[in-house]
């Protein structure tokens, strides 16, 4: 008696692709959720941006290392938190990760200006700095939105602020407010005053071009605007008044940058109201 042996058909290319895609997708979600959960409690040791810039500098004339020191939020002066909220994200304590009013303002601004400006919140900037590579692609922006939703869901606002203040770039190879405070003001972050904190926040749009130790006229102008902010925004009030939002937009979408740089390309440290600033 002959038995017919039926061989299983090999899976189609589509099925193979689907299996690989499904495996990669599940793996990505598990990995991303795990990283966000871990960083909810553990200090972020390094970020992709730190490694990227340090590595690139090996091929340049000046090598840039990584100067950073993690400190808990309790050891960062209140003026520093107020300054970054004033300069970067007035609605930080009340939005869900995205400031849609600021996004609309950025779109309107960019239609009439050559120098493009974004409307990323502190949450978005934290997601980008901690989990993603430096890029301006739409894929990166999509990933940024994904991680922003995750950290807003899994971290309290104070944790987002804590991580942000410990990983932001504030000069060549200088990351976090503790390292910057020691380098430029010879003090700890918990001892920063309003003028020093406002100067640090003033360079955030571009901490390589704008320098804390050699502030330009534009940076000094931003510093004065940031210093003029009230504490209402930083104290997580349930509403952000129209005037406060207007002042935030005035800082975020300041179109005086080119004019200020031409008027006075680089001010000396003694011109800065921040007091002593050193290399």
Q: Where are the alpha helices (DSSP H) in the chain?
A: 13-39, 48-57, 78-88, 100-111, 122-131, 138-154, 157-167, 177-185, 194-202, 217-227, 242-252, 257-263
Place of tokens 């990323």: 120
Backbone phi, psi, residue 171, to 5°:
160, 170
Q: Give the span between the Cα atoms of 211 and 202, in whole angstroms.
A: 9
pLDDT at 275 over 50: no
Cβ burial, residue 8 (10 Å; 0-12/13-18/19+): exposed
126: pLDDT strictly greater than 50: yes
Segment holding 174, helix H or strand E: strand 174-175
Do the beta carbons of residue 224 and residue 273 sit within 8 Å? yes
Burial (CB count within 10 angstroms: exposed 0-12, middle 13-18, buried 19+), residue 238 = exposed
The pTM of this model reads 0.83
Average pLDDT across the chain, whole number: 83
pLDDT tens-digit series, residues 19-59: 777 888 888 889 989 999 999 999 999 999 998 888 877 77
Tens of pLDDT, residues 94-106: 999 999 998 898 8
Run of H or E including 171? strand 169-171
Is residue 132 within 8 A of residue 274, CB to CB? The reply is no
Whether 173 has a pLDDT exceeding 60, the answer reads yes
| For residue 253, pLDDT beyond 90 | no
Say if residues 251 and 226 touch (Cβ distance below 8 Å). Answer: yes
Choose among 63, 66, 27: nearest CA to 44. Answer: 66
Residue 2 confidence (pLDDT): 54
Distance CA 201, CA 221 (A): 12
In DSSP terms, 175 is beta-bridged to: 68, 169
**Residue 4 pLDDT greater than 60, yes or no:** no
Give residue 168's pLDDT.
96
Checking if the pLDDT of 273 tops 50, the result is no
pLDDT in tens, 60-78: 777 788 999 999 999 999 9
Q: Are 184 and 163 in contact (CB under 8 A)?
A: no
């Amino acid at each position: 008696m002959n038995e017919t042996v039926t061989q299983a058909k090999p899976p189609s290319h589509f099925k193979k692709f689907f299996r690989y895609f499904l495996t990669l997708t599940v793996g990505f979600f598990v990995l991303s959720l795990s990283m966000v959960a871990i960083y909810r409690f553990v200090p972020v040791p390094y970020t992709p941006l730190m490694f990227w810039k340090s590595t690139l500098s090996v091929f340049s004339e000046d090598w840039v290392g990584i100067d950073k020191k993690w400190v808990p939020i309790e050891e960062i002066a209140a003026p520093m938190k107020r300054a970054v909220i004033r300069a970067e994200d007035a609605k930080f304590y009340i939005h869900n990760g995205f400031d849609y009013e600021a996004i609309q303002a950025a779109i309107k601004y960019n239609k009439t200006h050559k120098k493009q400006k974004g409307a990323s919140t502190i949450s978005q900037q934290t997601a980008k700095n901690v989990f993603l590579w430096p890029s301006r692609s739409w894929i990166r922006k999509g990933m940024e939105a994904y991680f922003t939703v995750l950290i807003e869901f899994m971290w309290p606002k104070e944790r987002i602020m804590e991580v942000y203040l410990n990983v932001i770039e504030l000069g060549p190879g200088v990351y976090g407010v503790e390292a910057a405070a020691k380098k430029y003001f010879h003090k700890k972050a918990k001892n920063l005053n309003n003028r020093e904190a406002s100067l640090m926040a003033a360079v955030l749009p571009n901490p390589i071009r704008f320098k804390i130790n050699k502030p330009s006229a534009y940076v000094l102008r931003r510093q004065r605007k940031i210093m003029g902010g009230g504490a209402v925004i930083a104290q997580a009030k349930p509403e952000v008044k129209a005037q406060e939002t207007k002042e935030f937009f005035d800082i975020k979408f300041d179109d005086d940058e080119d004019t200020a740089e031409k008027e006075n390309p680089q001010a000396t440290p003694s011109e800065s109201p921040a007091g002593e600033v050193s290399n």
